[in-house]
Amino acid sequence: MSLRTWAWFTAKRLLADELPRRWAHTQGVARRATEIANALPREERQILVAAAWLHDIGYAEDLIDTGLHQLDGARFLRREGIPVRVCALVAHNSGAASIARLLNLSDALAAFTDERTPTRDALWYCDVTTSPDGLPISYEERFTELRSRREPEDPVIRALDLSEGERAAAVSRTEELLATALIRR
């Protein structure tokens, strides 16, 4: 089974019945990743799409441990023997380091390296440009939506305040990459 197929199968098994809205969002993120993957070198495409399928599996009941879904998902993937880059992309997705600081989980998260590559930026981009229902959305709308359904003291919102610039930078670097790829085509 290819990595991409395993990732789809595993995300579906963990999310589809238990967390249908999260599954809808995941399908949207994976769809967006598949659409933009050609802007990346060939060897990166499967990594991006697999990480997109897997990026929110840490919300599944069976995987919850620390409560930082990125870290819980990444630890599960490491136990499953999934390539370390995919584990690390999931671990650091969408400003996880900022949330980890608030939850005193920085040391645990440090077991995974934030690679800060175009592939990592592209994963963050796909996540923040997909609504909770899996539909395309601008990242400005996504941030507004995130704030609207959580309390200001929620760690996700406090971390958002800390990481919004970093997320916006990842989005803008990916938009530049996509524009360049379109010009080349």
| In the complex, least distance from residue 139 CB atom to Fe ion, rounded to whole angstroms | 12
Q: Which is nearer to Fe ion, 95 or 118 (CB)?
A: 95
> What residue ranges bind Fe ion (CB under 5 A)?
56, 127
Q: Which is nearer to Fe ion, 121 or 127 (CB)?
A: 127
Q: Please report, to the nearest 10 degrees, the dihedral formed by the alpha carbons of residues 82, 22, 28, 111 taken in order.
A: -30
C-alpha torsion sign, points 105, 64, 156, 168: positive
Rounded to the nearest 10 degrees, the angle between the axes of helix 84-91 and helix 118-128 is: 50
| In the complex, least distance from residue 132 CB atom to Fe ion, rounded to whole angstroms | 8
Q: Which is nearer to Fe ion, 51 or 105 (CB)?
A: 51
State residue 68 phi and psi, 5-degree precision. Answer: -90, 105
| In the complex, least distance from residue 170 CB atom to Fe ion, rounded to whole angstroms | 14
